[in-house]
């Protein structure tokens, strides 16, 4: 006769939940621009070291362009956006490179180590469009999203261990069910919305940066219309790490009055919007 397992061990789960809460509240930092509180345990020096190691590896495995018009434009946009971020810059070593690749993408690693793939250039179409993407990527670095993601994953592991130990006295099928439910909640109720929040925050910060750097912020929604057309079919937003292009365009329109006001205040009056 098959032995029945016990019930869920709630005291164990509560103990781990308290540990996760302490971990969360003892490691609070503030995101520049948005003033959002974030969980972060890694210091800037550690971020820069990890970012540089990854950057050097990516560049060594890639065809990096060293001169030409695209390189000059990317470095100029990068320098202007970095200057626009100066007040919030934690001491990053900004670097801007161009990688010859069909990828329609760019990235900025912790520490400010940034690269643009040449596949992005036709979709960006102009310097303002390129500034939208580069501002977004720089914003990820400024907001310490990589370090925050690592800290959040650690907290998920703490809670997950609590769930596993809490279910340890149950029979095998019940344990599988509990862990399956936890996995679904963790993925769709936490990890994916958390990633989309990072992307939206980087969109906002990047829009402010490009406006400060005197690039036309009105190009942002137009750029995402082109990105949507170039990207083809996408999964439903709740299954994605990124907001849908439609959501991003709507957000940009909401933030646009602030960005235009910053542009007009900081840029020459003869090109005010």
Tokens standing for residue 47: 């971020």
* Residue carrying the six token digits 């940066």: 209
How far out from the chain centre does Cα 21 lie?
23
In total, the chain counts a number of residues equal to 273
Helix (H, G, I), strand (E, B) or coil at 90: coil
Query: What are the DSSP calls for 20-83, one per residue?
Result: HHHHHHTSEEE-TTT--EEE----HHHHHHHHHHHHHHHHHTS-EE-SSHHHHHHHHHHHHHHH
Q: Which of 69, 43, 70, 52 has the alpha carbon at shortest distance from 114?
A: 52
Catalytic residue (one of 137, 148, 201, 219): 137
Whether the CB-CB separation of 224 and 248 falls below 8 Å is answered with: yes
29 assigned to active site: no
Residues with Cβ within 8 Å of residue 268, at least 6 apart in sequence: 214
Q: Are strands 64-65 and 106-109 parallel, antiparallel or unpaired?
A: unpaired
Element spanning 96, H or E = strand 95-99
**DSSP assignment of 81-139:** HHHHTGGG--S---EEEEE--S---EEEETTTEEEEEGGGHHHH-SHHHHHHHHHHHHH
Instruction: Report the catalytic residues.
Output: 137
């Amino acid at each position: 006769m098959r032995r029945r397992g016990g019930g869920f061990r709630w005291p164990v789960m509560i103990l781990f939940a308290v540990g996760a809460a302490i971990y969360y509240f003892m490691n609070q930092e503030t995101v520049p621009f948005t003033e959002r509180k974030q969980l972060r345990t890694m210091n800037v020096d550690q971020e820069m070291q990890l970012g540089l190691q990854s950057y050097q590896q990516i560049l060594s495995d890639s065809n990096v362009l060293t001169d030409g018009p695209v390189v000059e434009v990317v470095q100029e946009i990068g320098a202007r956006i970095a200057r626009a971020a100066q007040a919030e810059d934690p001491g990053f070593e900004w670097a801007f490179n161009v990688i010859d690749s069909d990828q329609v993408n760019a990235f900025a690693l912790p520490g400010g180590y940034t690269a643009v793939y040449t596949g992005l250039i036709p979709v960006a179409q102009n310097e303002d469009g390129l500034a939208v993407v580069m501002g977004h990527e720089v914003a990820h670095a400024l907001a310490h999203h990589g370090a925050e993601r690592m800290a959040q994953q650690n907290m998920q592991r703490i809670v997950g261990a609590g769930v596993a130990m809490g279910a340890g006295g149950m029979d095998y099928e019940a344990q599988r069910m509990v862990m399956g439910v936890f996995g679904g909640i963790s993925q769709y109720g936490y990890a994916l919305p958390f990633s989309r929040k990072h992307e939206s925050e980087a969109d906002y910060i990047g829009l402010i940066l490009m406006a400060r750097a005197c690039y036309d912020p009105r190009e942002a929604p137009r750029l995402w219309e082109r990105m949507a057309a170039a990207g083809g079919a996408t999964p439903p937003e709740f299954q994605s790490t990124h907001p849908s292009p439609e959501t991003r365009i709507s957000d940009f329109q909401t933030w646009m009055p602030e960005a235009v006001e910053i542009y007009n205040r900081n840029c020459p009056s003869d090109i005010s919007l």
